[in-house]
């Protein structure tokens, strides 16, 4: 079964013609794939087929333990974005970037490929100044129109500073994490396990909060 | 699997023109919904220098599932229609500041719009199209517990309440739509309605009444939302008898309509009793050179097609004002 209908496939294909440098996707799953893992696998195969500048490598969370540890992947399904030189961008999607999140997925790919809007000077400087490890987790649901903005802002910070890792986490796929972090509305952002942001905030505010974490 | 694609191809060739604090624009439009985007197209076609300051392209339209009463389309999703509006605006070299919120507007020899990131832009005239957003209940506990069980977006947050007990406040279309979404997955849904009957459309009420895990409290109102870390219970008062009862729930969805977004113009523009910006039939406010259009204004009936039409009118009024003043 095809994941995309013809209209969506064409729309995505059109956008991907603007892709700059090559982007390499890593997918962590397991041999006996869970339902959603299988769907994501198909989604990624189909997505990667829409552009010759998208690479896709699949790892087994159990068998490729060393790879999972290298990329600090502690749960699956996980999608990572690597740049053309296979450098880790810190951008991760835990769950299927469907529904509204297709937008943050495409934006992430575009930005990693080098096609991105310039940040304001203040924002760019603030991101550079972050000199500690920062881990941003953005909890979302696929039916939330406000969530992709929160995800993309976190991903952009990760892209601009190698000390920052930013995860999209589908609360529906990881209910135990939603309980752990007390997620009862989305988007909800957790920074370094201790700071919580409810709702989508402009990237400047997110950077400010991340810098203090 | 559904994909709500609303991202466009990046503007690699026709680079986006950023708004410039050094420029005195003829018109600055504040907002991003149908009124704003229509006004933008009209201003650009008139050839006046135009800036657009917006939190999100599409506004409330982007959160609308389907539209069946915008002429030219018998059926289109809100996201698709918003994209078409945006594409039509992007044909022009319009200056844009997006993802930004206007926090204050000042009127003088020049009009100044101050944004939440500290920047400020100047114009000879303004069109305010800031729309509406969810109305708050205004009861104790609401603000403290927002995002901790108090929710305003059922399509976003309903999945987080699977197997839980929830209250929905409001018996209009948005309240009953939310109650239906929640009844599918929650253990129990209590609808609290201020009036003696539900005011939602008949088709929605019928669909809602088909569920067996719901209770409707007519002529009741929420007095307080109680909880330390998350919502634990809601105190609800019977408006006829005055009795207050406590309902143990994990969530409360507030769907009691919308309030106009007028924070940036409070004290500057005249508002009506509903807090909407008062405009005359040419979209003029009480301040010369400041125009308003769409759901934020006193114009009756909040509809996409009306907002778009009003946006066109506000743009033409602003262009006329600039011609006369120069």
Judgement on whether residues A93 and A159 belong to the same structural domain of the protein: no
pLDDT digits (tens, 9 = 90+) for A94-153: 999 999 999 999 999 999 999 988 887 888 999 999 999 999 999 999 999 889 989 999
Residue % of chain B over a pLDDT of 90: 78
pLDDT > 70: percent of chain B: 98
Is the per-residue pLDDT at B235 higher than 90? yes
Look at residue A156 and tell me if it is in a domain: yes
B98 touching chain A per CB within 8 A = no
Q: What is the DSSP string of chain A?
A: --SS-HHHHHHHHHHHTT--S-EEEEEEE-SS--HHHHHHHHHHHHHHTT-TTEEEEEEETTTTHHHHHHTT--SSSEEEEE-TT--EEEEEEES---BTTHHHHHHHHHHHTT--PPPPHHHHHHHHH--S-EEEEEEE-TT-TTHHHHHHHHHHHHHH-TTEEEEEEETTT-HHHHHHTT--SSSEEEETTTEEEES---HHHHHHHHHH-
CATH code where residue A33 lies: 3.40.30.10
Domain assignment of residue A39, yes or no = yes
The CATH class that applies to domain B150-254 reads alpha beta
Window 278-317 of B: residues touching A by CB (8 A cutoff) are none
Tell me which of A43, A64, A97 is where a domain ends.
A97
pLDDT band at B14 (very low <50, low <70, confident <90, very high): low
Q: What total number of domains does chain A contain? A: 2
A104 domain residue, yes or no: no
Average pLDDT over residues A33-52: 94
- Give the model confidence (pLDDT) of B194-211 as tens digits: 999 999 999 999 999 999
Residue pLDDT, tens place only, A163-199: 999 999 999 999 999 999 999 999 999 999 999 999 8
pLDDT at B15 over 60: no
For residue A58, pLDDT over 60 is answered with yes
Per cent of chain A over pLDDT 70 is 100
Say what the pLDDT of residue B255 is: 95
Q: Is the pLDDT of residue B12 over 80?
A: no
Instruction: Residue B116: list chain A partners with CB under 8 A.
Output: 202
| Model pLDDT, residue A1 | 56
* Cβ-based contacts of A11 with chain B (< 8 Å): 5
Give me the pLDDT at residue B6, please.
Answer: 79
Q: For chain B, give the mean pLDDT.
A: 93
pLDDT digits (tens, 9 = 90+) for B106-138: 999 899 999 988 899 999 999 999 999 989 999
Instruction: Please check whether residue A108 lies inside any domain of the structure.
Output: no
Residue of chain A minimizing CA distance to B100: A202
Residues with Cβ within 8 Å of residue B104, at least 6 apart in sequence: B113, B114, B264
Q: Which of B244, B198, B158, B6 is nearest to A145 (CA)?
A: B6
A185 and B62 within 8 Å at the Cβ level: the answer is no
**Helices A121-129 and A203-212, axial angle in degrees (round to 10):** 20
pLDDT score at A189: 97
The answer to the question of residue A116 being in a domain is no
Containing structural domain, residue A72? 6-97
Contact criterion met (CB < 8 Å) for B2 and A98: yes
Domain stop point among A97, A132, A161: A97
A10-29 pLDDT tens trace: 999 999 999 999 999 999 99
Whether A163 is in a domain gets the answer yes
Report whether pLDDT(B8) > 80.
no
Cβ contacts below 8 Å, chain A against chain B, sum to 112
In this predicted structure, the answer to whether residue B3 has a pLDDT above a threshold of 50 is: yes
Please give the pLDDT value at position B13: 47
> Does residue B229 belong to the interface with chain A, where contact is any CB pair within 8 Å?
yes
CATH architecture of B17-133+258-325: 3-Layer(bba) Sandwich (3.50)
Q: Let me know if residue A109 belongs to a domain.
A: no
- Residue intervals of chain B classified under CATH 3.50.50.60 are 17-133+258-325, 150-254
Check whether residue A132 and residue A93 sit in a common domain.
Answer: no
Query: Is there a domain that residue A113 lies in?
Result: no
What tokens does B317 get? 């009024």
Query: For residues B209 and A33, which has the higher predicted lDDT (pLDDT)?
Result: B209
Q: Does B233 touch chain A (CB under 8 A)?
A: no
Q: Do B156 and A146 touch (CB under 8 A)?
A: yes
Q: Is the dihedral of CA B114, B119, B125, B128 positive or negative?
A: negative
Q: What is the tens place of the pLDDT at every residue in B54-67?
A: 988 889 888 777 78
């Amino acid at each position: 079964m095809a994941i995309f209908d013809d209209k969506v496939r064409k729309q995505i294909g059109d956008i991907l013609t603007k892709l700059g440098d090559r982007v390499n996707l890593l997918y962590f799953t397991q041999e006996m794939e869970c339902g959603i893992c299988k769907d994501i696998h198909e989604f990624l195969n189909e997505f990667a087929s829409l552009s010759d500048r998208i690479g896709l490598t699949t790892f087994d969370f159990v068998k490729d333990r060393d790879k999972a540890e290298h990329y600090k992947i502690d749960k699956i399904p996980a999608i990572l974005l690597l740049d053309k030189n296979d450098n880790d961008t810190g951008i991760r999607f835990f769950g299927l970037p469907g529904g509204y999140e297709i937008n943050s997925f495409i934006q992430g790919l575009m930005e990693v490929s080098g096609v991105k809007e310039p940040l304001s000077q203040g924002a760019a400087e603030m991101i550079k100044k972050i000199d500690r490890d920062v881990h941003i987790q953005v909890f979302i649901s696929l039916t939330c129109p406000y969530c992709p903005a929160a995800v993309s802002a976190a991903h952009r910070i990760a892209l601009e500073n190698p000390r920052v890792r930013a995860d999209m986490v589908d609360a529906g796929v990881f209910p135990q994490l939603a309980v752990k972090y007390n997620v009862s509305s989305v988007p909800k952002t957790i920074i370094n396990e201790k700071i919580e942001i409810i709702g989508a905030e402009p990237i400047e505010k997110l950077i400010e909060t991340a810098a203090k974490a | 699997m559904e994909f709500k694609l609303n991202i466009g191809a990046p503007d690699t060739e026709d680079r986006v023109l950023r708004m410039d604090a050094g420029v005195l624009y003829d018109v600055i439009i504040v907002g991003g919904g149908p009124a704003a985007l229509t006004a933008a197209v009209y201003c650009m076609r008139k050839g006046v220098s135009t800036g657009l300051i917006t939190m999100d392209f599409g506004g409330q339209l982007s959160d609308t599932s389907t539209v069946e009463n915008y002429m030219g389309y018998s059926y289109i999703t809100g996201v698709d229609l918003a994209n078409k509006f945006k594409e039509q605006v992007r044909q022009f070299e319009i200056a844009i500041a997006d993802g930004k919120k206007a926090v204050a507007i000042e009127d003088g020899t020049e009009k100044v719009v101050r944004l939440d990131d500290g920047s400020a832009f100047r114009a000879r005239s303004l069109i305010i199209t800031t729309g509406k957003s969810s109305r708050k209940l205004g009861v104790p506990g609401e603000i403290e517990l927002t995002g901790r069980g108090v929710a305003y977006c059922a399509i976003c947050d309903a999945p987080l309440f699977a197997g839980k007990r929830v209250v929905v406040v409001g018996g209009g279309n948005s309240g009953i739509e939310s109650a239906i979404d929640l009844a599918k997955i929650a253990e129990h849904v209590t609808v609290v309605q201020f009036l003696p009957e539900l005011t939602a459309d008949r088709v929605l009420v019928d669909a809602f009444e088909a569920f067996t895990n719901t209770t409707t409290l007519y002529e009741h109102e929420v007095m307080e939302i109680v909880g330390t870390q998350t919502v634990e219970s809601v105190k609800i008062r019977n408006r006829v008898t005055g009795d207050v009862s406590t309902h143990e729930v994990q969530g409360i969805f507030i769907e009691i309509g919308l309030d106009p977004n007028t924070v940036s113009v409070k004290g500057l523009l005249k508002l009506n009793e509903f807090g909407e910006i008062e405009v005359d039939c040419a979209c003029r406010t009480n301040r010369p050179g400041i125009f308003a259009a769409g759901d934020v204004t006193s114009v009756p009936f909040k509809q996409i097609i009306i907002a778009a039409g009003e946006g066109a009118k506000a743009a033409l009024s602003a262009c006329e004002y600039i011609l006369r003043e120069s």
